Copies of this chain bind each other. A is one copy, B any other.
């Protein structure tokens, strides 16, 4: 920032080189194209050709980036999930002094944002055989693993002294609960989050410490 002559650029956020950025852009474009398509048709009715041409690129390029249709669908779901997990991170960071409240706020944020998201609604209504719903349920292990890892990282950042095994167990359980509540909503988000907090409270106190 300073215009002083002798200042060293140092490690100041090294600019992402073009090739890497281009690859990222390609994937983003595919995801965006898929999202557009999903607004009018179900996933089972969208062909790989559709996605590729909507991205302005050939089908083979799509297959090179993602090996198969399922792989792409999975990557897409995870990509969309990032958005919600970002919100979760934020919610957690606002309650670093109170683990129970953090979990409650995080779960509530997730349920609320996901519940209101039009794309999520579409995915949930698409329960056919070739749809995307199985990707988070019957074939949902990759998503669960990914979300668990990400949530684990978030928690460990907030409570570094907590035992890793317990944090991971907590994270995975929360992920599974969250997915369940999305696919089969019970009460309103606040109530659901409160009940989860009650259920997991003792374990949270034990794992993360009741005083942080």
Contact = CB atoms under 8 A, between A and B. Distances in A.
Interface of A: 1, 3, 7, 9, 15-22, 25-26, 29, 32-33, 36, 39-40, 54-57, 118, 121-122, 125
B118 A15 contact: no
Given A9-B39, A18-B25, A18-B29, 5 more contacts: A3-B118, A3-B122, A15-B54, A16-B29, A16-B56
A40 B1 contact: no
Nearest to A6: B40
A29 B57 CA distance: 22
Contacts of A54: 15
A16 B125 CA distance: 28
19 contacts: A1-B118, A3-B118, A3-B121, A3-B125, A7-B40, A9-B36, A9-B39, A15-B33, A15-B36, A15-B55, A15-B56, A16-B56, A17-B55, A17-B56, A18-B56, A20-B56, A21-B25, A22-B22, A22-B25
Contacts of A19: 56-57
A57 B18 contact: yes
B15 A21 contact: no
A1 B118 CA distance: 8
A120 B28 CA distance: 33
A2 to B, nearest CB: 9
Contacts of A20: 56
